[in-house]
C-alpha cells in the first residue's frame, strides 16, 4: 500500500496540469458585474488567486453576443506572464442588453470556463424624460373633449345595469394576466421580457380606449365608466396578479406605483366629468368642443407614436418571440373581450366597447411599474415589451378605425331612422341641441 501511495504522489507531482482543475473561486473579477454605456469602452480585471502551479495559464475570451458586448484586441492571453497574475481586458459595449463574456482557462490538459456578466445600458434621453410631460396634457384635454360628447343620464344608466362593466373587469383582470403568463411560457421568454408582458397584462384600461371607442361609434359612457372602475380596482388587482404569476420568474420585489395609478385615475376622470358638466350647462359650447375631438385625438396618437419610437429605437434588437407575444396580447384581448360579451348576450355596440377596454390597456402604468421595480438595463429591456404592446394596440386600433370608416362610407346610416329607433327603445331624446349625438345612439341597448 505504501508503494502504491508513492506512485500516485509522484504522478500528481509530474502531471499537475492533467489532474488539477481550476474552479470559479480561483479567479476574481473587478468589477463583479460590468455595467457599461452603449457604444462605449471599459475594462474588466481578472485576477488568479488559486494555488501556485508550474503550468502556464492561458486565457481565451469570447462573447455570447458580440452585438451587445465584446472584448477588444487580442482574445488569448498568458495569465502567468503578467505581474501578480492580474490582467485587464478592454470591453466594447454595443447595443442595450445583457450578455456574458466566456473566459476559457487552459492549463495543461485542463480547461475551465468562467462566465462574466456584462450589462449594456442606454444613455439618458431628454426626449424620453419629457415624454410623460407631453402625454399627460394631451390625455387631460382629450378626456375633457370626450366628456363633452356624453350626457350624465347615460352614465347613470350604465351604473344601474353594470353588466358590461362586470364583464370588462373579468376580461381585464382574469383573462389578460393569464394570457400574458401563458404567452411568456409558450415562447420561453427571458424573465425580463416575461415580467414586462405580465405587467402590461395586469394593467387596467387607459385613456386611449376612450378615443378608440369614440372613433368606432361604440358606447362611450360605458367605456368611460369601465376605465374608471378598472383603474380603481387596479390598486388591488395589479399587485395581486403580479404576486400570483410573478413567482414563476426571477422576481425579487415589485414596487406597485400607487401614486401613478391615482394620478392616472384623476387625469382621466376629472376632465371627463368636467366635459359632461359642460354638456349639461353649456350644450352649444360642448358642440363646438366636439368638433375638435377627432383632429385633436389624431394629433395625440401621432405624437405618442412619434415620440415613443424616437426614444425606443432599441426595440429592433428585441427577440422575435417577445415581439410576437406583445402582438398577440392585444389581439387576443380584442377577441376575448368581444366573445365574452356576446356569450352574456350584450349587443354589438357594447360588445365592441368591452373588446376595446379589454385590449387597450394603460401602458403608462405598466411603464411606471417597470421603472420603479428594476435597475438598468433590465428596466429598459422590460419596458420594450410594454412599448411594443402599446404600438400594436395603436396599430390594431387604426386598422379597426380604417375598416369601420370604409364600412360607413359604403353603407351610410340613415340617421333619422336611427334616432326614431332610439326614441322608441329609450323613450328619451337622441339629440343634443337638435344634432345627432353618436354616443347616445350607441347606448340604445341599455334596455330596462
Q: What is the pLDDT of residue 36?
A: 87
Q: Which residues fall within 8 angstroms of residue 246, CB to CB, at 6 or more apart?
A: 195, 198, 254
CA geometry: angle at 160 spanning 154 and 164, to 5°?
80
**Alpha helix positions (H), 148-216:** 152-160, 163-170, 176-186, 191-201, 207-215
Q: What is the pLDDT of residue 309?
A: 76
DSSP 411: S
DSSP 98: E
Please provide the average confidence, as pLDDT, over all residues in the chain.
77
Query: How far apart (Å, rounded) are the C-alpha atoms in residues 65 and 95?
Result: 10
352-361: b (≥16 Cβ within 10 Å) or e: bbbbbbbbbb
> Mind listing the domains of the chain with CATH numbers?
19-121 (2.60.40.10), 126-416+423-441 (1.20.1530.20)
Burial class of 346 by CB neighbour count within 10 A (0 to 12, 13 to 18, 19+): buried
For 149-190, how does the pLDDT look when each residue is reduced to its tens digit (9 = 90+)? Answer: 777 787 778 778 888 889 999 999 999 999 999 999 999 998
**Would you state the cell numbers that stand for residue 337, as one nine-digit string?**
373581450
Q: Which residues fall within 8 angstroms of residue 326, CB to CB, at 6 or more apart?
A: 197, 200, 385, 388, 389, 392
pLDDT band at 440 (very low <50, low <70, confident <90, very high): very low
For 232-278, how does the pLDDT look when each residue is reduced to its tens digit (9 = 90+)? Answer: 888 888 888 888 888 887 765 566 666 776 777 777 778 888 888 88
Query: How far apart (Å, rounded) are the C-alpha atoms in residues 392 and 191?
Result: 21
Confirm if 74 and 157 have CB atoms less than 8 A apart. Answer: no
Amino acid at each position: 500500500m505504501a508503494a502504491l501511495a508513492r506512485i500516485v504522489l509522484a504522478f500528481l507531482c509530474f502531471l499537475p496540469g492533467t489532474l488539477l482543475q481550476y474552479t470559479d473561486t480561483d479567479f476574481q473579477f473587478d468589477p463583479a458585474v460590468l455595467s457599461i454605456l452603449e457604444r462605449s469602452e471599459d475594462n474588466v480585471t481578472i485576477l488568479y488567486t488559486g494555488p501556485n502551479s508550474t503550468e502556464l495559464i492561458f486565457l481565451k475570451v469570447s462573447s455570447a453576443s458580440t452585438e451587445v458586448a465584446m472584448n477588444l484586441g487580442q482574445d488569448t492571453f498568458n495569465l502567468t506572464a503578467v505581474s501578480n497574475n492580474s490582467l485587464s481586458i478592454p470591453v466594447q459595449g454595443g447595443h442595450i442588453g445583457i450578455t456574458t463574456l466566456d473566459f476559457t482557462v487552459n492549463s495543461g490538459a485542463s480547461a475551465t470556463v468562467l462566465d462574466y456578466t456584462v450589462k449594456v445600458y442606454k444613455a439618458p434621453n431628454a426626449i424620453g424624460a419629457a415624454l410623460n410631460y407631453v402625454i399627460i396634457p394631451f390625455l387631460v384635454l382629450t378626456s375633457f373633449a370626450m366628456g363633452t360628447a356624453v350626457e350624465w343620464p347615460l352614465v347613470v344608466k350604465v351604473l344601474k345595469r353594470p353588466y358590461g362593466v362586470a364583464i370588462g373587469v373579468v376580461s381585464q383582470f382574469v383573462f389578460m394576466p393569464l394570457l400574458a403568463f401563458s404567452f411568456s411560457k409558450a415562447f420561453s421568454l427571458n424573465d425580463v421580457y416575461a415580467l414586462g408582458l405580465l405587467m402590461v397584462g395586469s394593467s387596467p384600461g387607459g385613456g386611449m380606449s376612450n378615443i378608440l371607442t369614440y372613433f368606432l361609434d361604440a358606447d362611450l359612457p360605458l367605456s368611460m365608466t369601465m376605465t374608471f372602475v378598472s383603474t380603481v380596482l387596479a390598486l388591488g388587482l395589479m399587485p395581486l396578479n403580479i404576486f400570483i404569476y410573478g413567482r414563476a420568474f426571477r422576481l425579487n420585489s415589485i414596487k406597485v406605483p400607487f401614486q401613478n395609478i391615482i394620478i392616472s385615475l384623476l387625469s382621466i376622470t376629472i376632465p371627463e366629468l368636467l366635459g359632461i358638466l359642460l354638456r349639461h350647462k353649456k350644450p352649444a359650447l360642448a358642440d363646438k368642443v366636439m368638433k375638435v375631438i377627432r383632429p385633436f385625438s389624431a394629433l395625440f396618437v401621432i405624437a405618442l407614436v412619434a415620440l415613443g419610437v424616437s426614444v425606443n429605437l432599441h426595440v429592433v434588437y428585441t427577440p422575435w418571440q417577445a415581439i410576437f407575444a406583445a402582438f398577440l396580447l392585444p389581439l387576443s384581448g380584442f377577441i376575448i373581450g368581444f366573445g365574452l360579451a356576446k356569450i352574456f348576450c350584450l349587443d354589438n355596440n357594447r360588445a365592441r366597447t368591452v373588446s376595446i377596454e379589454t385590449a387597450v390597456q394603460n401602458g403608462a402604468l405598466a411603464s411606471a411599474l417597470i421603472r420603479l421595480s428594476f435597475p438598468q438595463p433590465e428596466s429598459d429591456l422590460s419596458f420594450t415589451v410594454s412599448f411594443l404592446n402599446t404600438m400594436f394596440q395603436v396599430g390594431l386600433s387604426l386598422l379597426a378605425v380604417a375598416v369601420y370608416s370604409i364600412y360607413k362610407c359604403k353603407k351610410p346610416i340613415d340617421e333619422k331612422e336611427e334616432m326614431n329607433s332610439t326614441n322608441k327603445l329609450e323613450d328619451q331624446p337622441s339629440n343634443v341641441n337638435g344634432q345627432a349625438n353618436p354616443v347616445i345612439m350607441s347606448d340604445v341597448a341599455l334596455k330596462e
